[in-house]
Amino acid sequence: MGNKKGDLIERIYKRVRKIPKGKVSTYGIIAKSIGAKKVNPRYVGYLLHKNPNPKVIPCHRVVDRNGKVAEKYAFGGWRGQKKKLIHEGVKFIGIKRVDLRESLV
DNA sequence: CCGTTGACCAGGC
DNA sequence: GGCCTGGCCAACG
């Protein structure tokens, strides 16, 4: 596979696309999964926000390490993200937190 | 090439 | 237990 510098975006997208329905992943896990040395979790979110393609990339399945949804989620804020996750059967703890015990891949 | 930015993370108070 | 600070690294202008 052609590995280039700018492929980080595609690696992240590919990883996010592989998250099963009803499950979630975290920025930190994804950052390490792509394996490009050490990619900052910050940059993962940055790329997703910069290049949102919800038709193929379920970025709503990505939360932070505490299971908290993105406060600045591009499509309706954390509320929109939560709504999509609940629709897929993801359990929530409290208001903004996902049940990582059940939903984390 | 340098400074800024980014949907985070860990540590400290 | 909530808020601040520093750090991390890649992309952009």
pLDDT value at residue A3: 54
Q: CA(A94)–C1'(B5) in Å?
A: 31
Residue type, A99: D
- Tracing tokens 């059967």 back to the chain, one arrives at A89
**Which active-site residues of A does the annotation give?**
59
**Beta strand pairing call for A62-63 and A25-26:** parallel
- For residue A41, which nucleotide's C1' is closest to its Cα? B8
In this prediction the pTM is: 0.90
Q: CA(A72)–C1'(B13) in Å?
A: 26
pLDDT value at residue A38: 73
Is the distance between the Cβ of A42 and the closest atom of strand B smaller than 7 Å?
Answer: yes
Per-residue confidence of chain A (105 residues) as pLDDT tens digits?
Answer: 555 555 788 889 999 999 999 999 999 999 988 866 678 899 999 999 888 888 889 999 999 999 999 988 988 889 999 999 999 999 999 889 999 999 999
> Rounded CA gap, A67 and A39, in Å?
20
> Rounded CA gap, A23 and A26, in Å?
11
Is the distance between the Cβ of A103 and the closest atom of strand B smaller than 7 Å?
Answer: no
Could you list the beta-strand ranges (E) of A31-75: 62-63
